[in-house]
């Protein structure tokens, strides 16, 4: 990509991995994780490794350092870094390369910093232990890098302990640490996955600037296409430990060749047909609700309505109170003030005081399908229980209804009815959760981040299914997510939450066209787009408008 390559030269060959094979151990047997891939990287080049969970991207990234996690082994192929064969090299030779010529930035900075030492100590030990510079020089360099990575109070922040610093700052401090010995290659392993979108963008910008400034080669590992499009010169798509496709970024983004890659790219195409809002009274009315845990206030005077057959999307970053709003509606957290009305009738605040039919009419689908179904129950029992519990179904009637529901969620009844959840994939489990919710014959379903834990194609399938069910069964959804693309695809109305308040609400179409509330604007503009020039354009606008200044203090 020219915009990223600007000001730096892609030089000679730096890293070459040929027919790389890595095995992982489970149950005392070795299984292949990486099944023979070739990775070639030149000086100054940024390579994006992309794939869904389990594709083997982290394992491949670590192999570039000649490192295999405990329980893994490099079983074949060659890894040559700048003329040094890392497979044949002794552990001591590899150790001397790590941190000095090849550095690593981990996904969770909070866990990867030693809690017992200050940030600057962990920075300084790199050059000092490797005999590159004195402690004093290292500290001065650390402060300089902290400044260049836009950390607040760069002269003093290093003297803090990891738990005293926020997540986004820690991630930048870790990038600074990776740069301590001015390595030739840095491996970024999902460095922004654990961060909120508005924080993610700061880290992305600083990582990219620093890679440019030092002309460092990098392997950028992520599952997020839009992110990798901003960061990489070249992209490799991995799946099940094999290479699917490889190309320079702009070609890859504009013209993917393989079917699998195309489906990845096509993911965000789904768009719900908006139905007209019925003019009758709302199904759910959340009326001036204030709620919290102990002394902590999480929701502050929240009001909104959900109409029959409509989807309300609730969006916000972690800690915005969007899940708490769902807990108030379900009765898990009784409100301090205000109330929730269903068809104009107030609901008891505590779910234990609600009648069976009140409980039946509001169902819930969770983010983690893994933990939302009991792993020791068969599919038959999971879907059958609400039928037996609410509708007193027994025998053949019960069996037939379970099969009907499985058909409805597009799973073959004969094949699935006697399985345990452990024998299903993530998407299939989420479908079972949908079937369980439908079994209660509800009017209203709360979907709490239901697609966040799923790979993109699977998520797309779930969204389509939910949309179809809504049309067929006239369901209302409250759709909670941090992902604006999902909201745009599925919601009729949007509610934007920040720190327990609603900052903006309205029909989806209006919300995605300016003018926005200031925070909505920040949130909207921070969501990475597929266009490889997006980050550059955004930074340009923010620089002129001065939005970044307020964002970087968070």
Partner 1 sequence: MSDSSDSGITQTADAVPPPPPRQRRWSDAWREMKKAPMSAKFGLIVIFGYVFVALFAPVLTPFGESEIVGAEFEPWGTVGEQGKTFILGTDNLGRDMLTRLLFGARNTIGIAFVTTCLAFLIGGVSGILAAALGGWVDQALSRLVDILMAIPALIFSLLLLTIFGTSIPVLIVIIAVLDSTRVFRLARAVSLNVVVMDFVEAARLRGEGIGWITLREVLPNIRPPLVAEFGLRFCFVFLTIAALSFLGLGIQPPTADWGSMVRDNATLITYGDVTPLLPAAAIALLTVGVNFVVDWFLHKTSGLRDDQ
Partner 2 sequence: MFALVRVVAQRLGLGVLVLFAVSLIIFLGVELLPGDLCEEIQGQAATPETVAACRKELGLDKPAVTRYLGWLGDISKGDFGRSLANQREISELIGVRLSNTLFLALVAAAISVPLALVLGILAALYRNTWYDRAVNVVTLSSISFPEFFVAYILILFLAVKASVFPSLSNVSPDTEFWERVYRVMLPAITLTLVVVAHMMRMTRASIINLLASPYIEMANLKGMTRSHIIVHHALPNAWAPIVNVIVINLAYLIVGVVVVEVVFIYPGLGQLIVDSVQKRDIPVVQACSLIFAATYVILNLTADILSIVTNPRLLHPR
Least gap, CB of 163 to partner 2 (angstroms) = 5
Residue 191 to residues 65, 154, 168, 171, Cα–Cα distance (Å): 17, 21, 10, 7
| Contacts to partner 1 from residues 467-486, by CB under 8 A | 467-468
| Contacts to partner 2 from residues 44-103, by CB under 8 A | 62, 65, 67, 69-70, 95-100, 103
Of 108 and 358, the one with the shorter C-beta distance to partner 2 is 108
Of 63 and 235, the one with the shorter C-beta distance to partner 2 is 63
Q: Rule CB under 8 A: is residue 30 a binding residue for partner 2?
A: no
Of 10 and 84, the one with the shorter C-beta distance to partner 2 is 84
Please provide the DSSP assignment of 436-494 as one string.
Answer: HHHHT--SEEEEESTTTTS-HHHHHHHHHHHHHHHHHHT-EEEEEES-HHHHHHH-SEE
Least gap, CB of 15 to partner 2 (angstroms) = 16
Residue 356 to residues 363, 387, 397, 454, 455, Cα–Cα distance (Å): 12, 13, 21, 32, 35
In the shown chain, the binding pattern of residues 409 to 448 toward partner 1, with x for contact by CB under 8 A and - for none, equals -x----x--xxx--xxxxxx-------x---x--------
Rounded Cα–Cα distance for residues 337 and 98 (Å):
57
Rounded Cα–Cα distance for residues 174 and 154 (Å):
14
Q: Rule CB under 8 A: is residue 215 a binding residue for partner 2?
A: no
> Which does residue 478 touch among partner 1, partner 2, none (CB within 5 to 8 A, set by kind)?
none
Q: How many CB atoms lie within 10 A of CB 13?
A: 14
> Which does residue 100 touch among partner 2, partner 1, none (CB within 5 to 8 A, set by kind)?
partner 2
In the shown chain, the binding pattern of residues 374 to 403 toward partner 1, with x for contact by CB under 8 A and - for none, equals xxxx-------xx--xx-------------
Of 58 and 199, the one with the shorter C-beta distance to partner 2 is 58
Residue 421 burial (CB < 10 Å; 0-12/13-18/19+)?
A: buried
| Contacts to partner 2 from residues 100-119, by CB under 8 A | 100, 103-104, 106, 108, 111-117
Of 180 and 306, the one with the shorter C-beta distance to partner 1 is 306
The two beta strands, 337-342 and 345-346, are antiparallel
> Which does residue 440 touch among partner 2, partner 1, none (CB within 5 to 8 A, set by kind)?
partner 1
Least gap, CB of 77 to partner 1 (angstroms) = 26
Q: Rule CB under 8 A: is residue 53 a binding residue for partner 1?
A: no
Bond prior to 515 in cis (omega within 30° of 0): yes
Rounded Cα–Cα distance for residues 290 and 13 (Å):
60
> Which does residue 103 touch among partner 1, partner 2, none (CB within 5 to 8 A, set by kind)?
partner 2
Least gap, CB of 392 to partner 2 (angstroms) = 50
Q: Rule CB under 8 A: is residue 465 a binding residue for partner 1?
A: yes
Residue 23 to residues 20, 80, 433, Cα–Cα distance (Å): 10, 19, 34
End-to-end Cα distance, the chain = 31
Least gap, CB of 265 to partner 2 (angstroms) = 33
The two beta strands, 46-50 and 234-239, are parallel
Rounded Cα–Cα distance for residues 261 and 257 (Å):
7
| Contacts to partner 1 from residues 309-338, by CB under 8 A | 330-332
| Contacts to partner 2 from residues 128-187, by CB under 8 A | 129-130, 160-161, 163-164, 177
Describe the crossing of helices 518-526 and 534-545 by its angle, rounded to 10 degrees: 150
> Which does residue 418 touch among partner 2, partner 1, none (CB within 5 to 8 A, set by kind)?
partner 1
Residues linked to residue 103 through DSSP beta bridges, in sequence order: 186
Residues 301, 307, 309, 310: what is their CA dihedral angle, to the nearest 10 degrees?
Answer: -50
CB 3 within 8 A of CB 533: yes
# chain residues binding partner 1, by CB under 8 A: 45
Rounded Cα–Cα distance for residues 186 and 61 (Å):
10
Residues linked to residue 290 through DSSP beta bridges, in sequence order: 337
Of 177 and 325, the one with the shorter C-beta distance to partner 2 is 177
The two beta strands, 337-342 and 284-293, are antiparallel
* 236's tokens: 């490799």
Of 30 and 161, the one with the shorter C-beta distance to partner 2 is 161
Q: Rule CB under 8 A: is residue 125 a binding residue for partner 2?
A: yes
| Site residues for partner 2 per CB under 8 A | 62, 65, 67, 69-70, 95-100, 103-104, 106, 108, 111-117, 125-126, 129-130, 160-161, 163-164, 177
Contacts to partner 1 by CB under 8 A: 260, 263, 330-332, 351, 354, 356, 359, 364, 366, 368, 371-377, 385-386, 389-390, 410, 415, 418-420, 423-428, 436, 440, 455, 457-458, 460-461, 464-465, 467-468
């Amino acid at each position: 990509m020219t915009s990223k390559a600007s000001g730096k030269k892609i030089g000679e060959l730096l890293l070459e991995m040929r027919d790389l094979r890595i095995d992982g151990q489970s149950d005392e047997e070795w299984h292949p994780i990486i099944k023979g891939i070739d990775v070639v990287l030149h000086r100054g080049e940024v390579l994006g490794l992309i794939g869904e969970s389990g594709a083997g991207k982290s394992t491949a990234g670590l192999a570039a350092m000649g490192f295999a996690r405990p329980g893994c082994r490099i079983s074949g192929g060659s890894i040559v870094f700048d003329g040094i064969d890392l497979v044949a090299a002794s552990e001591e030779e590899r150790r001397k390369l790590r941190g000095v010529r090849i550095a690593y930035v981990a996904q969770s900075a909070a866990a990867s910093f030693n809690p017992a030492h200050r940030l600057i100590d962990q920075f300084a030990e790199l050059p000092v232990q490797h005999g590159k510079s004195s402690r004093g020089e290292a500290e001065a360099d650390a402060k300089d890098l902290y400044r260049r990575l836009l950390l607040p109070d760069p002269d003093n922040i290093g003297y803090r302990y990891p738990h005293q610093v926020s997540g986004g700052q820690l991630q930048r401090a870790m990038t600074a640490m990776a740069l301590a010995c001015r390595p030739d290659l840095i491996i970024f392993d999902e460095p922004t996955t654990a961060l909120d979108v508005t924080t993610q963008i700061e880290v992305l910008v600083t990582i990219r600037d620093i890679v440019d400034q030092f002309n460092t080669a990098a392997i950028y590992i992520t599952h997020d296409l839009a992110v990798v499009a901003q960061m990489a010169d070249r992209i490799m798509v991995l799946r099940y430990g094999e290479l699917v496709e490889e190309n320079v970024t702009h070609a890859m983004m504009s013209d993917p060749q393989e079917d699998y890659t195309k489906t990845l790219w096509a993911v965000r195409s789904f768009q719900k047909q908006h139905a007209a809002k019925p003019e009758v009274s709302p199904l759910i009315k959340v009326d001036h609700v204030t709620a919290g845990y102990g002394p902590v206030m999480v929701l502050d005077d929240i009001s909104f309505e959900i109409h029959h057959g409509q989807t309300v999307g609730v969006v916000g970053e972690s800690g915005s109170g969007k899940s708490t709003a769902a807990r108030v509606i379900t009765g898990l957290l009784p409100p301090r003030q205000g109330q929730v009305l269903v068809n104009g009738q107030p609901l008891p605040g505590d779910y234990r005081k609600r009648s069976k039919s009140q409980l039946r009419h509001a169902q819930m689908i969770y983010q983690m399908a893994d933990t939302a179904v009991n792993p020791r129950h068969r599919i038959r029992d999971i879907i059958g229980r609400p039928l037996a519990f609410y509708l007193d179904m027994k025998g053949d009637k019960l069996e037939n209804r379970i099969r009907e529901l499985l058909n409805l969620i597009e799973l073959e009844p004969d094949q699935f009815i006697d399985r345990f959840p452990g024998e299903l994939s993530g998407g299939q489990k989420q479908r079972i959760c949908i079937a369980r919710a439908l079994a209660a014959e509800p009017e209203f379903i709360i979907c709490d981040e239901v697609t966040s834990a799923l790979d993109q194609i699977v998520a797309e399938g779930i969204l389509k299914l939910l949309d179809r069910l809504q049309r067929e069964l006239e369901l209302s959804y409250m759709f909670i997510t941090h992902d604006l693309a999902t909201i745009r695809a599925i919601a009729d109305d949007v509610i934007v939450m920040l720190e327990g308040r609603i900052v903006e609400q309205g029909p989806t179409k209006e919300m995605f066209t300016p003018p926005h509330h200031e925070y909505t604007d920040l949130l909207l503009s921070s969501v990475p787009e597929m266009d490889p020039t997006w980050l550059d354009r955004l930074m340009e606008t923010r620089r002129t408008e001065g939005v970044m200044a307020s964002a970087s203090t968070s």
